[in-house]
Structure 1
């Protein structure tokens, strides 16, 4: 079996070599455009940049000011005691009362769902 595979591989390579034969007798043709391009590239000299060319395009770097350490109040205990003694605001209690009143007006979710489940009002045929 291996001799059959080797024979088939040999025949396939021989057939491929016949169809893809390379010819070494052709003369290489010179590309004039490529030759001119390469000649110009070799002859190019980059312009020398001036020493002050960056002026106006680059900002001068300056260090930011050093931050100052926070200062603790001298009488921290009395300030904490004043904070603890202060009364909380009553605004938080007024908000639920306003929300309860808004639901009674008809803006709540249950009111909306009830409206959707209700039957549509019947119109007279004469108006249309």
Structure 2
């Protein structure tokens, strides 16, 4: 019985291999069944694009949109200024010298030094 079952399984296996080989070697022709359908929106869009004509631009179209350029005035050169009067005014100035009182001011100016700390009076209190 074992021999018969082995023989039967061998025959069925051979049949399966033959059928498998027959399937793999078969040529198949694939034909697309769905035909490209026209896209109505795309066709309308392309038709309108082809029919569009850009409006012609005129020479005076930019008049209200762009300001006219005016060259700024050149700055006056130092030679054109009144150098003689400026030099005379500089020479007439009275220089301020440290330690001398300014003319028209009080004779003794109180000098305040904001960076020095006042001396403490501990020495006077400590000797009493």
The bucket for the TM-score relative to the shorter chain is 0.3 to 0.5
Which structure's residues are more often helix, by fraction? 1
Under a length normalisation based on structure 1, what TM-score does the superposition of the two structures give?
0.42
Higher relative CO (CA 8 A, sep ≥ 6), structure 1 or 2?
A: 2
